[in-house]
Structure 1
Amino acid sequence: YLPAWHVAFVCYENLGCFSNDMPWSGTIERPISRLPWSPEKINAHFLLFTRENLNVYQVNKDVIAASQYKPTRKTRFIIHGFIDKGDENWLLDMCQLMLQVEDINCICVDWKTGARTLYTQAANNIRVVGAQVAYMISVFKSFQQKPQDVHVIGHSLGAHCAAEAGQRTPGLGRITGLDPAEPYFQGCPAIVRLDPTDAQFVDVIHTDDETCYFILGFGMFQAVGHIDFYPNGGEHMPGCDKNIISQICCMFFLFHSTRDFVACNHLRSYKYYSDSILTPQGFMGYPCSNDDIFVFQGHCFPCANSACAIMGHYADTFQVPNGVEKMKFYLNTGDARPFSRYRYKVTITIDGSRTNMGYFLVALYGTKTSNQRCSFLICFSGILKPGKTYQLLIDVEKDVGDLTHVKFLWNNNVLNPLLPKFGATKITVQRGKDRRAFTFCGYEKVRENVLQTLSPC
């Protein structure tokens, strides 16, 4: 711990008192002492969306009865993070997507005045904003809405803000942490940060633990939920390229016009969540101890019975065993929208006229694909040996449904006067989500760049 400092308190009506005592400051993780601003200075607003009224308007405790809020519907809060604001497109878009699939009260929490300041101050202002969210939930009780029917979603600092609301709301149904902020929270006691005790169900998406020179990543790597998802390993997201400019910007926490460039990894968490609302099966998480085992060793596939969890909006469909927390799930995503991916294991036995260098590709066709529009996937590049069996894991952009046939193509990009031929004699495709396997057989060998179609056998 650091040397002693002056302990101070501030108290606010309906919210209680806040101190700068340990562990809120004076520790290695939180060396600078700050008290949260007053509610008036933070100036938080609560913006409600419903199916009856898709326009934004402010919701306060005095006007709830006159609003479109209905206690019979589930209520979902969305809280932004540092240097963000509640009427950003991503919050509004997330509400609109939710309202396509469910009849809810969707409330965006706009605390931009309290977020657009020094990071150390914003990291303490969330204590007051979280208390305000908890107070609003307590007001909902007077309308007969139960806390278990409330879900609080928070990005970055907003995730720890949700934790404050959960600590003050016994029986809160769910908290979703979208890449919870790392600086001033990683390694801190549970009272300071997001923790499984903050709600009946806590799910977390980690997307930015990648360090920025001597500065930590924007997001936590520490597991802090009942279930924690690490898409693409949780550090570097496909499509988020690092370079010297982004590293320098990162050092100064620039989140304005350059934030999507600088904090690309950090922002992917809410993009993945939004995409999962309409395509949940494309975000299947596989239980695994670490990313190396998942990616390089190919373990943790396929899903055992009810062992996989869907990352994002439908994560709460997963049944967490009693007393278990910090379960880790891994998956891969695309580098741009659509981010959803569907995982398969492909086992291919080939035959040919002679051993040859080259590569082969496979295309999957099923009940949900068009025969004319299907992309080939590079499955293997190296030595092609007759009679050899190759096994690979692939992530497909579209759900092909039940497989009906597959196509095989090979090439070596070298003019060979011997005109070698290769063909796939057997291809087995196993689907990750339910372990179902589809087997196809081929009975011919073809020259390079000639399609071979394999049928069920």
Structure 2
Amino acid sequence: MSDIWVLGLLGCLLGIACGEKVCYPKLDCFEDNVPWGGTAERPIARLPWSPEKIGTRFLLYTSSNLDQFQELKPDKASLKGSNYDSDVRTHFIIHGYLTKENENWPVDMCKTIVPVESSNCIVVDWKEGSRTTYPQAANNARVVGAQVAQMIKFIKDTTRQGTDTFHIIGHSLGAHAAGEAGSRTRNLGRITGLDPTEPYFQGTVEKVRLDASDAKFVDVIHTDSLPFNPTVGLGMSQAIGHVDFYPNGGEHMPGCNKNPVSQYPDIDGIWEGVRKFSICNHLRSYEYYGESILNPSGFAGYPCSDKEAFDSGTCFPCANKVCPTMGHFADKFGISQVSKTNFYLNTGKAKPFSQYVYRAKVTIDGTRSQPGFLHVALHGDQGSTPLLQVHVGLLTPGSSYEATLTTEQNVGQLTHMTFRWNNHIYNPLLPKFGATKIELVRGSDSKTYAFCGEGPVHESFKQKVNPCQ
């Protein structure tokens, strides 16, 4: 007998999980036995509340009613009286457990998505079912997922809309509710998990949590993946999708304070303690996703084994000369090419979070070797970057210096570059250095550029470096 089943039996004997069951009409029956309770991952068993007590609502936004939602119910009169369009794609957005910090983000996301792609966007509001103890909310999410699956089936049966045109976006516990809906919906198009919660889900069997079998394409963004105990990382570190993105390594997001070590007696105490501190890392996942809707090219992900390999530059540029973009357009790159792959990228500390990465090789000429600084700036048809440091140290004529350059500015197609050098200290001999050639590789698609300079220049002079002829 496996350890998990032994734990389940012990839980039953202790009155924690005794194989009870509850059934809700038109949905399903739900049990609290193994694997739903009495296991090492889910020590406290709870039966989910009724749909009436959870109070799930489906709030529809379309291009015809972007300022005011229409409440959608699984009946023909409700659907017919709404602005729902079965000829376009449909997004469901499911919030998670920690809704008090930002209850409006699903509505904001719908209002961003709809103008971009003229779709139906449905906010799944289950706040009443999420404002309870964590073990209870984790099980209430099962009913929410079943309700989403019921709504998709009703729309499909009523309008003949294909299930591959439905996309569910879930944050925190909402990601696992999305997995529940996907497991009940054959050929569901896509699920996006935004930092799926770790407690009660990481390490469980697939039927309990979001996994790659729940939709034709499952993409996951991990932003708070430190262990829950003792570092209070709220999100899963486990890769569970066809593609899993780990921005900034997936643990600490720039601009966020580190979650404190908590010493609380139970899981609800820990979650309450987290409310008093920063949950910034956990929330970053939907902030990144929201920005990616309007700025997809700024979140290129690089296939890599881990953060250390990514930081070393060994994963640059992307294989096959294309990087999938984290976020809304992650499904545009071909599932077969990126299946079961982890991707890494960096983001900024604050909005805009997007970043653009290049690899530069700068070859210089000059009067004599001496210590100094090398900088370059990128200029394109959409803007320019500030000067970016390539090298600090000894400058030697005829030598080449390489660096990875990261910028928040999307310059578009490059037109020219700027080169500048500086002394460590003033040199009365007035040496000169210039860029004879700058070779640049764009990380997102491996596009290469070559720029050639003409002669050395004095310190702090900005040398324009044009495309090589």
**Structure 2 length normalisation: TM-score?**
0.90
**Alignment partner for residue 113 of structure 1, among 83, 106, 128?**
128
The reply on whether 1:14 has 2:26 as its aligned counterpart is yes
- Structure 1 counterpart SS, 2:71: coil
Alpha carbons of 1:383 and 1:116: their partners in 2 closer, same or farther (altered >3 Å)?
farther
Q: Is the 8 A contact 1:86 1:108 kept in 2?
A: no
- Structure 2 counterpart SS, 1:64: helix
- Structure 2 counterpart SS, 1:252: helix
How far does the alpha carbon of each residue in 1:166-208 deviate from its partner, in whole angstroms, 9 at most, with x for none? 0111111110001111111111110011111001111111111
Q: Is the 8 A contact 1:86 1:112 kept in 2?
A: no
Q: Which moved more, 1:390-399 or 1:117-126?
A: 390-399
The reply on whether 1:358 has 2:369 as its aligned counterpart is no
The reply on whether 1:253 has 2:271 as its aligned counterpart is yes
How far does the alpha carbon of each residue in 1:431-456 deviate from its partner, in whole angstroms, 9 at most, with x for none? 12332211112233333322122122
Match of 2:109 in 1: 94
The reply on whether 1:390 has 2:408 as its aligned counterpart is no
Match of 2:246 in 1: 230
Q: 1-side partners of 2:351 and 2:380: how far apart?
A: 22
Q: Is the 8 A contact 1:83 1:117 kept in 2?
A: no
Q: 2-side partners of 1:281 and 1:301: how far apart?
A: 16
Match of 2:81 in 1: 66
Runs of 4+ in structure 1 deviating by more than 6 angstroms, as ranges, are 246-251
The reply on whether 1:336 has 2:350 as its aligned counterpart is yes
Q: 1-side partners of 2:386 and 2:301: how far apart?
A: 24
| Amino acid corresponding to residue 401 of structure 1 in structure 2 | G
Q: 1-side partners of 2:42 and 2:274: how far apart?
A: 25
Identical aligned pairs, as a percentage? 54
The reply on whether 1:150 has 2:166 as its aligned counterpart is yes
Q: 2-side partners of 1:454 and 1:228: how far apart?
A: 39
Q: Give 1:75 deviation, angstroms.
A: 1.1
CA RMSD of aligned residues (A): 2.4
Q: Is the 8 A contact 1:80 1:86 kept in 2?
A: no
Q: 2-side partners of 1:361 and 1:224: how far apart?
A: 41
Match of 1:181 in 2: 197
Q: Give 1:377 deviation, angstroms.
A: 1.5
Q: 1-side partners of 2:262 and 2:378: how far apart?
A: 40
Q: Is the 8 A contact 2:141 2:174 kept in 1?
A: yes
How far does the alpha carbon of each residue in 1:338-358 deviate from its partner, in whole angstroms, 9 at most, with x for none? 111222110111233443333
- Structure 1 counterpart SS, 2:348: coil
How far does the alpha carbon of each residue in 1:77-120 deviate from its partner, in whole angstroms, 9 at most, with x for none? 00001131799321111111111111211000111111111111
**Alignment partner for residue 34 of structure 1, among 41, 46, 49?**
46
Q: Give 1:412 deviation, angstroms.
A: 4.1
Q: 2-side partners of 1:401 and 1:307: how far apart?
A: 16
Q: Is the 8 A contact 1:47 1:59 kept in 2?
A: yes
Q: Is the 8 A contact 1:29 1:184 kept in 2?
A: yes
Q: Give 1:143 deviation, angstroms.
A: 2.2
Q: Give 1:407 deviation, angstroms.
A: 0.8
Q: Is the 8 A contact 1:212 1:247 kept in 2?
A: no
Match of 2:287 in 1: 271
The reply on whether 1:319 has 2:319 as its aligned counterpart is no
Which residues of structure 1 form unaligned runs of 5+?
A: none
Q: 1-side partners of 2:366 and 2:228: how far apart?
A: 49
| Amino acid corresponding to residue 283 of structure 1 in structure 2 | F
Match of 1:301 in 2: 316
Match of 2:15 in 1: none
Q: Is the 8 A contact 2:259 2:279 kept in 1?
A: no
- Structure having the larger proportion of residues in helix: 2
| Amino acid corresponding to residue 59 of structure 1 in structure 2 | L
| Amino acid corresponding to residue 204 of structure 2 in structure 1 | C
Alpha carbons of 1:130 and 1:243: their partners in 2 closer, same or farther (altered >3 Å)?
closer
Q: 2-side partners of 1:267 and 1:422: how far apart?
A: 47
Q: Is the 8 A contact 2:385 2:411 kept in 1?
A: no
Which residues of structure 2 form unaligned runs of 5+?
A: 13-17
Match of 2:153 in 1: 138
Q: Is the 8 A contact 1:159 1:176 kept in 2?
A: yes
Match of 2:58 in 1: 46
Q: Is the 8 A contact 1:287 1:307 kept in 2?
A: no
Q: Is the 8 A contact 2:257 2:278 kept in 1?
A: no
Q: 1-side partners of 2:23 and 2:243: how far apart?
A: 35
The reply on whether 1:404 has 2:415 as its aligned counterpart is yes
Alpha carbons of 1:413 and 1:204: their partners in 2 closer, same or farther (altered >3 Å)?
same
Q: Give 1:304 deviation, angstroms.
A: 3.5
**Alignment partner for residue 119 of structure 2, among 94, 104, 107?**
104
Q: Which moved more, 1:25-34 or 1:414-423?
A: 414-423
- Structure 2 counterpart SS, 1:277: helix
Q: 2-side partners of 1:429 and 1:152: how far apart?
A: 39
Q: 1-side partners of 2:435 and 2:231: how far apart?
A: 50
**Structure 1 length normalisation: TM-score?**
0.92
| Amino acid corresponding to residue 187 of structure 2 in structure 1 | G
| Amino acid corresponding to residue 184 of structure 1 in structure 2 | Y
- Structure 2 counterpart SS, 1:253: helix
Q: Which moved more, 1:147-156 or 1:286-295?
A: 286-295
Q: 2-side partners of 1:440 and 1:193: how far apart?
A: 51
Q: Give 1:411 deviation, angstroms.
A: 2.5
Q: Which moved more, 1:282-291 or 1:417-426?
A: 417-426
Q: 2-side partners of 1:412 and 1:26: how far apart?
A: 67
Q: Give 1:336 deviation, angstroms.
A: 1.3
| Amino acid corresponding to residue 373 of structure 2 in structure 1 | Y
Q: Give 1:216 deviation, angstroms.
A: 4.5
**Alignment partner for residue 257 of structure 2, among 241, 264, 268?**
241
Alpha carbons of 1:147 and 1:429: their partners in 2 closer, same or farther (altered >3 Å)?
same
**Alignment partner for residue 161 of structure 1, among 158, 164, 177?**
177
The reply on whether 1:368 has 2:354 as its aligned counterpart is no
Alpha carbons of 1:444 and 1:47: their partners in 2 closer, same or farther (altered >3 Å)?
same
Match of 2:69 in 1: 56
